[in-house]
Every structure is written in C-alpha cells, then in structure tokens.
Chains A and B, each alone.
Chain A
Amino acid sequence: MLIRLAGGRVVDPANGRDGVGDIWIRGDRIVAPAEGEIPDAVYDVSGKIVMAGAIEIHSHIASGTVNTARLLLPENHRAHRPRPEETPLATAGWSTFETGCRYAMMGFTTLVEPAVPPHYALHSHLELADIPIVDKANLMALGDDDYLLSLLQKGASGTQIADYVGAMLAASKALGVKSINPGGSIAFQNNVRTFDYDDVVPEYGVTSRRIVEALQQAVVDLGIPHPLHLHINNLGVAGNVETALKVIGSAGNKPLHLAHLQFYSYGKEGKRGFSSAAAQLAEAVNAAPSALTIDVGQVMFRQTVTISLDVIRQFAAVPMAKPRKSVIFDGEINGSGVVPYLYKSDNYYNAVQWAAGLELFLLIKDPMRVFFTTDHPNGAPYTTYPDLFALLLSRDARARWLADLPKEAVEMTTLPSIEREYSLSEIATMTRVAPAKLLGLKDRGHLSPGALADVAVYNDDPDRAQMFRFAHLVFKDGDLVVRDGRVTHYRYGRTLAVQPSYDAATDRRLAKYYDDLYGLSRDMFKVPADAIARDYRFEEVACGQ
C-alpha cells in the first residue's frame, strides 16, 4: 500500500522542515517520494498541518493504582459524555479502550505509563493490552525495594546494582526505570511523615540521594536509553523549590529526567507563604547540563484524582480529598495513594500552581528538554491537552485565563510578563522529537524515510484547542485509524521494552532471595511473554553501551 499525503504544511523539526510538501507512506514506513509510481491512496491535505505521531512520556493510564481510582470514583465516569462509536467499549468512561481512542484522536501514537512497581507488572501489561491503536510501554518503579536497599546498605558495587536492575527489568518488561520519593514508602511504614532528599531510610541507613545516585548510574551502566525518571521528595510543599534545586545541582552530567516539576516550583513568599518559584527553577534547568530533562505536570482547573506511588505525600493529602475519600496502600515493595482533588480557578493555591506550570513551559528555553505532561490525571486529565496547547501557542489566550484568577495569586508569579508563544515547530519538538530521543525510539518522532508511519494531520484551525482535540487524519503504522476526529477501527500496537544484558547469576540469587524471604517463587511476579497471548507483541528497544 502506497499512500501520498499531498500538499500539507509539513512540520518536522527533526529534519528542519516547516513548509508545504508531500509525505509518502509505504506499508508501515515513511518513504522518499515515489515519483513515477501511482499511489494506492492520495489524501489532499492542502491547508492542513502534518506532523509525526505524538509521544506521551508520563501518563498514569495502566496500573493497579489507576484501576483503584476507577473503582473508588464511579461518579467520575459521568463526566465523560457518551459518544457512540463503532468500536468495542469505546464509550467506556476512562477505561483502557477510551484511553487508546482519545489519545489517537489527538494524534498521539505512543504512550508511556510511568509508575509500575515490579510486583505489579503483569497487571499493568494486562491493561496496556486493552489500550487499542497506540504503541505503549511502562516504567518500572524501584527505590523502595528491600533487595536494592540491602545492596546499598552492604556497599555493593555498581555492577551488582546494575545486574539487579537489569534482572528486574527483564522480568517486568519495562522501557525504563522510575523512582518515586526514593525510600519514602519504607520510611512511611516506619511512621516517618516527611522525607527529604538527604534523610536516611530507617533500618537501611541509606539516604534518598544515595538511592537516586545508584539508580542513575545503573541506568547508564545498562545502556538504557531512557534516563532515570525521578519523582523527587517533598512534592506539593511550600518552599520545595529548594529540594528541586538541590537535586538539579547534584545531578552532574549523567542523564536524569525530573517528573512533573511544576509540583516542586513553590516558594514561600506572600502572605499565604505560597508563591511560584518557577522562574528561578527554569533558570536552574536552563543552566544545567543538557542531560537534565523535565516534564511539567501542568495543573488545569477541574475535578480530577491524584494517583501516585509517593505514599507519604498522598497520605498527607488525604484531608484535602474531594470528594472526601481516598485509598492509601502500603504494599511490600512500594506504597501508593489515590486521592481525588478539585482544582479551582478561584483557589489561590491552585491558581499559583497553574501559572507556575506555564512559567516552566515558557521560561525553559530548549523544547528538547521540557516535556508536555499534566501528569495525567494528577494535574489534569490528558483530555485537557488541547487547551494547554492553545495556552502555549497564544499569549492572548493566557491573558484571558489570567483575568479570571485571584489577583493576589497572579502577583505571586511572573506569568503575565512572559511574551513567548510556542511555534507549531516547537510544539512538534516538545511532543515528537524530544520524547522519541528521551525514550530511545529512533524511528519515531520524525518523518524521515524509514521512520514508522505514525502521522497526525491537523486542520489549521485558528482555534488551536479544537485543532489538537480532533485530528483530521491519524495513521498508525501506515494504517488510517482516525478520520475527522473519529476512530475508524481498532488495531493493537506493540509494547516497547528494553532487554538489557546482566549477569545471569543475578537471577539465581534473586530466586533464592524470593524463596527465602517471601516463601514464594519469583516466577509468580514475572511477566512471561506468552501471558497475554492475543494481539500483544513486545518489541525490544535497544540498549546502548
């Protein structure tokens, strides 16, 4: 099958391209213009905007914790307007099926679930298997696991730690490693209620910082393309910009990704002792080595639910739950919490958070280093993305929102003074080129010949939110899956995972450890390739050296 997308404005910053031209697709790949051949299908996309498929790096869409939120909050489903579609379960609230459809409608073709403790990997993969259309992956959460902390306590070598991380990745089939308030879950089990970067994990005598350094190094040693994905300490606390600055300052030249930095961009100014320190933080990011990347975790005003493995933080948030109910989970390898929350534009704190997120987006200069997230659903559901794109693209749009916010909150930020407007090319860099690089997905994020034919075509609608909400056409692997903002049919994508090499003796040691400590076979926790037989294919993402 040869397809020609004719006459669109091709926005492909990886190739320095922003101009009218054609894109050719043969099978599942982009190809050079096949002059002299008659295409099987020609789509006239003149006046439209053509980009590679977008890549989501951090969205809580497929895990036991997400499912707990679904069961806790049946009322949230009513917020989803039923829209009959000719595909199974496509109208099922915030189900896995809806997730695949809605992301595809916005032109996303690859999604990453970022928070899966190794013991719950199979659950995550079962959910990923029911997300249609897109490719997907998850990140494995380490940092509160007894085995790792015991290694650190004993002063194990970097090689031993890398071998352990490699063995756990192989068993979990994940794309990379995440760590969440490292040591915090164990600290909480020992009745610690706040846990800082240099605090010591009770019983193990190691600091959160030491865990971060060890995992950061292990990821490098294993050649995993995606850097350590870090959720740092003190999320959401006034004055926590100091924590973020400390972590940035100590990251060195090793790759490190800091998740949802907006939640760490708070100072203590003003009469409420809560202000935006995002400008200062953006400055630090700009000055840090380019191996340091961040995503924003933008807040948008609406009902949502916070879902996090940062159990200390979630426990602290329980009194703020709206509606007033929550789930706090301890667990043997990482805790978690589910706390519903309502962000309101007339709330001082929420307004500061909203502005701080946008300040990070706009003041961090390099769109290769700042990533587009709302930390779905923690800052806002991913369905608010189109509105967020519009805010980045237009200062006027921001001014209209700012006018509705409490004045005293706006004064605690620099947002009104920021003139920058993202270009479409910068949006494409942030949501296509940069995520492909960050995750090690070489054949995505661009439209060069040989690239996977994941393509999104948008109407050049002056209403940018409308433009990004309903793509005109979306191709996944060269297959047309969205037309005029509607999913045409299901197909099932691949699951991306790394397969790093490690010393095989590690598996023998771990088998013995599980037998001894849990009295259970470690095999129970693994994700066998044949566990989900139907439509579920793993694709290896290569590790470097």
Chain B
Amino acid sequence: MKAFVEGAEVSLETAAAAAARVLEQARQPVIAGLATDSAGARAAILLAERLHGAYDHMASDILLRDIDVLRQAGRLLTTPNDVRLRADCLLLIGPKLLNIWPGLADRLALAASPRLSEAKARKIFWLGPGRGEAAEIGAAEITATPAALPLALAGLRAAVLERRIRINGALAQKLTELAETLRAAHFGAILWSAESIDRLAIEMVQGLATDLNQKTRFTTLPLDSGKNVSGVVQTSGWMTGFPVRTGFGRGYPEHDTWRFNATRMIESDEADAALWISAYGDEAPQWKRQVPMIALARPQTRFPYAPRVRFEVGAPGQDHDAVEYARDIATFTLARASAPSDAPRVADILALIEQNLTKGYEAC
C-alpha cells in the first residue's frame, strides 16, 4: 500500500505531514465520505474537533431521511433475528429491498415458519415491489408505484382502523383484505428501507405499525445499508450526541443537516479543504469545485481530480480486523480480517496526521 503527494509516491510519514499542512492551513476543513470502521470514524471525529472542522457521510441523504423521521415521530423497530424467530406476518414496503440486502430471504429464514412463535406459518406480503421481486421470495404482491405508496399506505392505515378508504377499485379491496390479515397477526413486522421509500412513506409505515399495536403486536425492521453506515452514525451519536453533519466551528459540536452538508460546503466555498475517507469501496467525491483534497481510499478509486495527498488504505474486515455494525445482528461485532494484509487502517493514518498537526490543543 502506498501514499502519494501531488501524485508522487512518498513515505507514509511524509504524506501525513503534507496532509497535516493542508488541513491546518484551511480556514474550514471538512471530513467527507467517512466510509470506514468504527475506529476510523472515531479518529475522524476527534480530528474534526481538533481542526474545528465538520464531518459528513457519503450516505447522509439516505441515513438522515431515516433519522429525521425518527426524531420527528419516533419509531417502532426490531432486529432481523427477532423477525426470523418470531414474526408470523411480514409486510415489505417499496421496491429494491432485495438489492439493498441480497441475503435478506436467507437471514430472515423467510421460507421457514418462525421458530419461537406459537403461529405455525409465516405470511408474507409486499406492497409496491419492483417487477418480479415479490415472486422471488414468494410474497403476495400488492402493486403500487413508489409515488403512489404514501396514498396506498394511508389507505391501509384507514382499513386497519376500520375507517373509510379514499381509494377506489381493486386496490381498495386488496388493502381491506390485507388489513384484516395484519390485524390477525400474532407478531408482525413491516420491512422498509430509507434507500427506496421517501420520508412521507416512512412516516406512514411508523403510523401503520403504531395503529396495529392497538389490537395486536407489530413492529418494523428498517433494512440496514451495510458498510458500517449505521456504525458511523452510532459512533457519532455517543461521541457528540449527534449523527453525522456535525461541525466544531465554535469548539463544541453543532448539528445541522444543511450547514454541514460536505458537498454544499465545498461548492459554496465555505469549506476550503477536504478529507475524503472511503475504505469499503471505490466511491469518489461528487463535488465539482477543486478544493485541496486529502484522500484515504482504496487503491482502485478513480477521482474526479487529483488529490493533493492520497493514502491507499485497507478494507475493514478484509485487510484488517474491524469493529463494525453488522446488519445480520443489528449491532456491532468484531469482524476478523478475511485476507489479512499490512494495508494501513484509516484510524492509523488519521492518528499519524494528527501527530503532525502543529496547532490546536495537545490531545491528552
């Protein structure tokens, strides 16, 4: 694994010193991408604080859609294992869930009956799947386009509460039947992802689950995006009290989903240096303005313009052991390296950069 300054290969130490110069000469640096394990996220947040900078994640638009509904309305939720073992009635919402989580059917043992339930069979419905998706897992399909989903969900809520449905025709009939089945469930779960449904639909899903709990038990399973996205949010949560899009301009954390959007900060000339972190895949930044960039990325990454300093890093759980959020268990686990190498970890490089900073307080 290698490090480069202005395209020329140098030692890690030289690159770290150069990166430190770029970051501390900036008026307002921003850490972006942030696709890394929890140790990497922790190091990045500490570095952002020391630089009085901000940090954001490449998947913020999706994960904040989810979090915004959470902090607006709250949530009912459970884990994949709980759905696997106890849910006798599943309702999937919106398209692409099998693309978002290819191993879904296996992990939830959809073909089997729930082991820890008195219900002997599992009923599976899919409202608004993509073409052919429902058949793939043997779910009963109720067609709805993504745009029509909030209305269909509203209709379903009305049917669950035995109120009049403001929808006509075959869909109304199907929703009424579905409502009856959901109400008869022993312990049901609604599966959804912020990647494929919008804010309004997420709110409707939560409202539906709440309504169903008046008579029976229902919960929801938000499908995790993988690649430690949730782990970064969790780490940010305990370190600062906030999710990503948090800044330290005043020396303490402030969270603002608009102000600390990294791409916006860079395009609007607010941020004058960027630290891009992408250890899981080959994602490159989306911004157009050629702000000086430090990159911690996989070797194969293709950048829209040349980073001032570039470090090749290992992949968490592949090149090195990593604590990350595992969607199979909906919490953290230690993932042992599947193909150990001496490729550096994001946390180690960030520590090296921090050691090369000359201003800011002494880290204790």
Contacts and interface: CB of A to CB of B under 8 A. Distances in A.
Contacts of A524: 326, 328-329, 333
B36 interface: no
Given A89-B46, A146-B85, A517-B85, 17 more contacts: A70-B241, A74-B71, A74-B241, A77-B241, A88-B50, A93-B253, A95-B239, A96-B238, A123-B332, A146-B116, A190-B187, A191-B186, A325-B71, A327-B75, A330-B219, A331-B78, A524-B329
Nearest to A83: B252
A70 B237 contact: yes
Contacts of B363: 88
17 contacts: A71-B242, A72-B74, A74-B241, A82-B251, A87-B364, A88-B364, A89-B45, A92-B239, A95-B253, A122-B334, A126-B38, A203-B116, A327-B75, A327-B76, A332-B82, A489-B364, A532-B323
A538 interface: no
Contacts of B241: 70, 74, 76-77, 92-95, 98
Among A73, A130, A202, the one with the most B-chain Cβ atoms within 10 Å of its Cβ is A130
A97 interface: yes
Contacts of A76: 241
A122 B50 contact: no
Q: How large is the interface on A (under 10, 10 to 19, 20 to 34, 35 or more residues)?
A: 35 or more
Interface of B: 38-39, 42, 45-46, 49-50, 67, 70-79, 81-82, 84-86, 106-107, 109, 115-116, 118, 186-187, 213, 216-217, 219, 233-235, 237-243, 250-253, 255, 321, 323, 326, 328-329, 331-334, 361, 363-364
Given A88-B46, A190-B217, A327-B77, A528 B334 contact: yes
B251 A84 contact: yes
Contacts of B106: 519
A139 B231 CA distance: 23
A97 B235 CA distance: 12
A72 B70 contact: yes
B240 A92 contact: yes
Contacts of B361: 86
Given A127-B238, A325-B74, A332-B81, A531 B217 contact: no
A71 B240 CA distance: 10
Contact of A119 (B67, B237, B329): B329
A328 B76 contact: yes
Contacts of A534: 39
A349 interface: no
Contacts of B116: 146, 203
Contact of A189 (B72, B187, B239, B332): B187
A193 to B, nearest CB: 10
B216 A191 contact: yes
A32 interface: no
B331 A119 contact: yes
A383 to B, nearest CB: 14
B364 A122 contact: no
Interface string A90-134: 011111111000000000000000000001101100110010000
A490 B332 CA distance: 26
Nearest to B45: A89
B86 A123 contact: no
A223 interface: no
A329 B84 CA distance: 15
Interface in A280-296: none
A332 B242 contact: no
B286 to A, nearest CB: 25
A67 interface: yes
Contacts of A66: 238
A315 B50 CA distance: 41
A329 B78 contact: yes
Among B86, B115, B252, the one with the most A-chain Cβ atoms within 10 Å of its Cβ is B252
A518 B330 CA distance: 13
